[in-house]
Amino acid sequence: MKLIQLSDIHLTAPGATIGGRDPRRNFERALAHVLRDHHDAELMVITGDLSDWGDRDDYLWLRTTLDAFPIPTRLCIGNHDRRDVFLGVFPEYDDGGFVQGMHDVSAGRCLFLDTVEPNTHAGRYCDARQVWLQRQLTGHPGPFLLFMHHHPMPTHLGPMDRIGLSDGAAFRSIVGAHRNRIRHVFFGHCHLPLAGSIGGVPTSSLRGTNHASFPLFSETAMLSASDLPQSYGVCFVGADYVTVHMVEFGYDGPIRVEGSPEYTAWDRETMVR
């Protein structure tokens, strides 16, 4: 099966920009790119920071846009979102006062987690949410795909890790206890392509659809920013594998089609190098 991950779309008022980029326009560009190349995707998930300031108008615009989008879509919230405002527009996501839920696809069951803690950019997965996750993981045979906003493991980028998942060790312990039935964990928040594992389960992230970060290990106080291309993710889930791509739809340079995969076509004299 194929699924799409978008993250950190940071919607703003029409015409407003972040880092010189228009989040609404870039989100629309991402959707058009997805439909052009991946209209057959079974599900699209947006892993948080839906609105840059948690404005109701952003959520209303997002609801209208997604209602007209032909691929089924599920949402997580991030540290820039306001849970109460979001639920006022998307009440179907309310589960025990949190934005969490599940959706079955042909590859298994997707779980959507709420890692938001009010008044901080850091994430939290409190006792109540841990109980919810344990109940989901023990009450269904799986396999599972998990989606969340905050990074569940250290990035070793000092400023970024100060706004990571504050109770990450407890979360990783839950995931590790069910590692045989969790295929992959997808997250956002960092605006970076990242891969690793938690509790023995592979995890990955990507750049968002608007502004980008950079892994600047020499910076110890401030978060970094760059003009790297905007992106979304494409994931293929097979019976015995998971493949994840980051598609840089914001790249506007040339893309060359050259170099045959046939070994016999590799000729030192005639190949373009």
Q: What is the pLDDT of residues 17-47, one digit of tens each?
A: 999 999 999 999 999 999 999 999 999 999 9
Is there a contact between 113 and 130 (Cβ–Cβ < 8 Å)?
Answer: no
State the pLDDT at residue 258.
82
Between the alpha carbon of residue 263 and those of residues 135, 156, 230, 269, the distances in Å are 52, 41, 34, 14
State the pLDDT at residue 239.
96
What is the C-alpha to C-alpha distance for residues 164 and 176, in angstroms, rounded to an integer? 19
What is the C-alpha to C-alpha distance for residues 54 and 196, in angstroms, rounded to an integer? 30
Is there a contact between 106 and 42 (Cβ–Cβ < 8 Å)?
Answer: yes
Residues 206-213 have a mean pLDDT of: 97
Q: What is the pLDDT of residues 71-101, one digit of tens each?
A: 999 999 999 999 999 999 999 999 999 999 9
Is there a contact between 18 and 211 (Cβ–Cβ < 8 Å)?
Answer: yes
Q: Which fold has domain 2-265?
A: Purple Acid Phosphatase; chain A, domain 2 (3.60.21)
